[in-house]
Amino acid sequence: MKVDLYERIWMWGVAVVLAGFFVSTAIAAYGSQIHPPSHIETIDPRTAITDPRMAPQGVSVDADGRVHVRVVGVTFAWLPAEATVPAATPITFHITAADVVHGFQIVGSNGQAMAIPGYISQFTTQFMTPGEYLIVCNEYCGVGHHMMAGKLIVAPKDSWQAPSASRSSEPESEEVEE
């Protein structure tokens, strides 16, 4: 079969670009360990607010000294509405929804994840600049969507105090093979 020279150039061009996409995805996933902000952990949305993996909502410190924030999205609020975390410290967020899909976004940072009923989204990030960060819902969820906001206060590391009602241990997360 005779293939025109220009046709051949385009075919090879497409093949090279596709190969580039696959290789860069593979490098990001396996080389740099970059994954979507989720770890396929499931939860019953009807009991999400009281589930030991999500309650109490808010800031806690685990036995290793790592800081966690648990947030449940409900129409039309984030529980809790406000959280205070230390600056320049890795913070692991655990996000879920009790009713419909919400979008958890910490404005002015790279902290963002879908809040999906039935799943716990998780991501770890840190905030180098102390201050107040607005938390919005970026997924349309109903008539009160525009009012669904919260506040993240990032305190200087040495003035931040761990919450006194810290949990003594982290509940086992039901992580499955990714």
Choice from 71, 113, 141, 154 touching ligand CUA (CB under 6 A): 141
CB nearer ligand CUA, residue 51 or residue 139: 139
Window 85-124: contact mask with ligand CUA (x via CB under 6 A): -----------------x----------------------
The two tokens of residue 130 are 């102390």
CB nearer ligand CUA, residue 105 or residue 122: 105
Q: How far is the CB of 102 from ligand CUA (least distance, A)?
A: 4
Choice from 11, 27, 140, 162 touching ligand CUA (CB under 6 A): 140
The two tokens of residue 23 are 């290789």
Strand runs labelled E in the chain: 41-42, 58-61, 67-74, 77-79, 82-86, 91-97, 102-106, 112-115, 119-125, 131-137, 149-155
Residue 44 to residue 155: CA distance in whole angstroms: 33
Parallel, antiparallel, or unpaired: how do β-strands 82-86 and 149-155 relate? parallel
Choice from 139, 150, 152, 154 touching ligand CUA (CB under 6 A): 139
**Binding piece for ligand CUA, criterion CB under 6 A, among 19-27, 57-65, 87-95, 132-140:** 132-140
Based on the shown chain and the rule CB under 6 A, indicate whether residue 45 belongs to the binding site for ligand CUA.
Answer: no
> How many angstroms separate the Cα of 14 from the Cα of each of 20, 21, 28, 64, 113?
10, 11, 21, 49, 33
Nearest to 144, CA basis, from 77, 46, 73 = 77
Binders of ligand CUA among residues 56 to 75 (CB under 6 A) are: 73
Q: Which residues bind ligand CUA (CB under 6 A)?
A: 73, 76, 102, 137, 139-141, 145, 148
